[in-house]
C-alpha cells in the first residue's frame, strides 16, 4: 500500500478521534470552537492545543519514513499524550 495513503488515513483518524473527544466532552463549554478559540486560555488548554501537533507531524512522516514498528509506537504514544491531555482538561472547568 502507498505510504502517502497510509499517512493521510492516519491524519484523518487522529482528526476524527480528536473531534469526537472534544465534541462529546466539551459540548457544554463550546465544543470545538470553545477549545480552539478560548481566549485567554488556561495552561491546560495550551497543553492540549500544543500536544495536537506532534501526532499529526508523526502521521505525515509515514510517507517519508515508512511503516516500521517504531513509527507506530511513536505515533501511538504521541496520540495518547494528546488524548490524555484532553481528558485531563475536562477535570478543570473552562469558563465561557
pLDDT digits (tens, 9 = 90+) for 25-51: 666 666 667 667 777 777 878 888 899
Question: pLDDT digits over 49-89, tens only?
Answer: 899 899 999 999 999 998 889 999 999 999 999 888 888 87
The pTM of the full predicted model, rounded to 2 decimals, is: 0.78
What letters, b where the CB count within 10 A reaches 16 and e where it falls short, cover 51-60?
bbebbbebbe
Q: Phi and psi of 46, rounded to 5°?
A: -65, -35
Does residue 28 contact residue 80 with C-beta atoms inside 8 Å? Answer: no
Amino acid at each position: 500500500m502507498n505510504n502517502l495513503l497510509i499517512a493521510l488515513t492516519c491524519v484523518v483518524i487522529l482528526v476524527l478521534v480528536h473531534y469526537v473527544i472534544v465534541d462529546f466532552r466539551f459540548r457544554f463549554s463550546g465544543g470545538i470552537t470553545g477549545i480552539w478559540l478560548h481566549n485567554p486560555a488556561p495552561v491546560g488548554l495550551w497543553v492540549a492545543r500544543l500536544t495536537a501537533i506532534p501526532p499529526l507531524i508523526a502521521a505525515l512522516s509515514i510517507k517519508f519514513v515508512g511503516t516500521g514498528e517504531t513509527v507506530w509506537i511513536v505515533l501511538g504514544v504521541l496520540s495518547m499524550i494528546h488524548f490524555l491531555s484532553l481528558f485531563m482538561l475536562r477535570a478543570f472547568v473552562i469558563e465561557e
